């Protein structure tokens, strides 16, 4: 019978225990970080979900490495790893921002001495021209829901609202009935960081919302109340609950395909179209910034690159040698 010495088992046990301790530490750091972002920084739920997803990717890459020993070269390797996953530039940039915020938190808590992540460069998102629809394409999309579709009145109303306000899909999904003031012709949007702004509503959006409120929403409310809910959102699902952002995205893709509009459309495409069409028609950049809810005008400035004809006309009119 083979004799087993204690020394044969100790390293294996210690290695497993170390791995379990590392995994437990990662989980604890992540949960504490998210609790800090929620309780102390009052970040929106969607931001917290994005942080969680991004940092789970980071921990997947990290593996058995010791987080406290990472150098800038290691983090650069992580960015290369993200590049290899063929992420969109905006998604890649968000991953880097998430990492920077997380490392800043770890430094504040004394887990690391300095944040190596702060040395990482971000993608130059301003170089990417946003994708938008022409007015003719917008008209085709907004009229794609027709009588016979399951909730075509509601769907026309939310499409009109998206384009009329330029709001984010999360803002539309969580918009309350009390946020809409049809007689005063405006609605209240609650954006990132729970910042609220007032956005005007046009005649077509008001007409579509009024019809939805009169003909369809009361039926959806009854379904929600029958299930023990008290629906207070503006746009409701088939069962009378909140119409979540993923369902809105699916519906937009469905109606875009019917209207023959570009395949890569998303709810944000209507937001881009809203901003672009306002600028094309001469609205001041600061006013567009306010309606979009951008904290920094540099974010809004990206839309000045999309209308080549207008830029050429301005150059010809005002440049000494135009």
| Residues forming the active site | 168, 192, 268, 271, 294, 303
Whole-Å CA distances, 202 to 22, 88, 152, 181, 186 = 55, 34, 20, 12, 8
Token readout for 223 is: 């379904």
d(CA 190, CA 172) in angstroms, rounded, equals 9
Burial-class residue 50 by CB neighbours within 10 Å (0-12, 13-18, 19+): middle
Question: How many other C-beta atoms lie within 10 A of the C-beta of residue 293?
Answer: 21
Strand runs labelled E in 102-230: 180-181, 186-190, 196-200
Token readout for 72 is: 């800038």
d(CA 71, CA 119) in angstroms, rounded, equals 10
Contact between 132 and 273 (Cβ < 8 Å): yes
What b/e string do you get for 64-74 counting C-beta neighbours within 10 Å, with b at 16 or more? eeebeebeeee
Token readout for 160 is: 């009109």
Token readout for 132 is: 């938008």
């Amino acid at each position: 019978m083979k004799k087993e010495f204690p020394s044969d088992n100790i390293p294996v046990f210690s290695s497993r225990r170390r791995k379990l301790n590392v995994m437990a530490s990662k989980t604890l750091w992540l949960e504490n970080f998210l609790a800090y972002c929620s309780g102390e920084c009052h970040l929106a739920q969607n931001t917290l979900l994005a942080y969680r997803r991004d940092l789970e990717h980071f921990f997947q890459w990290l593996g058995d490495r010791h987080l406290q020993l990472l150098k800038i070269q290691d983090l650069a390797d992580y960015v290369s790893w993200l590049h290899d996953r063929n992420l969109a530039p905006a998604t890649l940039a968000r991953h880097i921002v998430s990492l920077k915020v997380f490392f800043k938190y770890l430094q504040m808590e004394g887990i690391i001495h300095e944040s190596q992540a702060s040395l990482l460069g971000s993608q130059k998102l301003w170089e990417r021209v946003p994708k938008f629809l022409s007015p003719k394409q917008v008209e085709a999309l907004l009229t794609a829901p027709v009588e016979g579709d399951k909730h075509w009145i509601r769907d026309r109303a939310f499409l009109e609202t998206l384009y009329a306000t330029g709001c984010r899909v999360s803002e539309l999904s969580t918009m309350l009935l009390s946020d809409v003031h049809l007689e005063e012709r405006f609605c209240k949007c609650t954006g990132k960081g729970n910042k609220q702004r007032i956005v005007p509503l046009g005649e077509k959006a008001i007409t579509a919302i009024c019809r939805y409120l009169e003909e369809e929403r009361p039926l959806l409310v009854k379904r929600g109340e029958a299930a023990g809910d008290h629906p207070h959102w503006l746009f409701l699902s088939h069962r009378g609950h909140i119409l979540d952002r993923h369902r809105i995205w699916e519906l937009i893709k469905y109606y875009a395909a019917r209207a023959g509009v570009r395949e890569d459309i998303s709810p944000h495409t209507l937001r881009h179209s809203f901003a672009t069409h306002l600028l094309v028609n001469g609205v001041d950049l600061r006013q567009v910034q306010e309606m979009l809810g951008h904290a920094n005008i540099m974010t809004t400035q990206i839309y000045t690159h999309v209308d080549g004809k207008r830029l050429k006309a301005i150059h010809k009119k005002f440049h000494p040698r135009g």
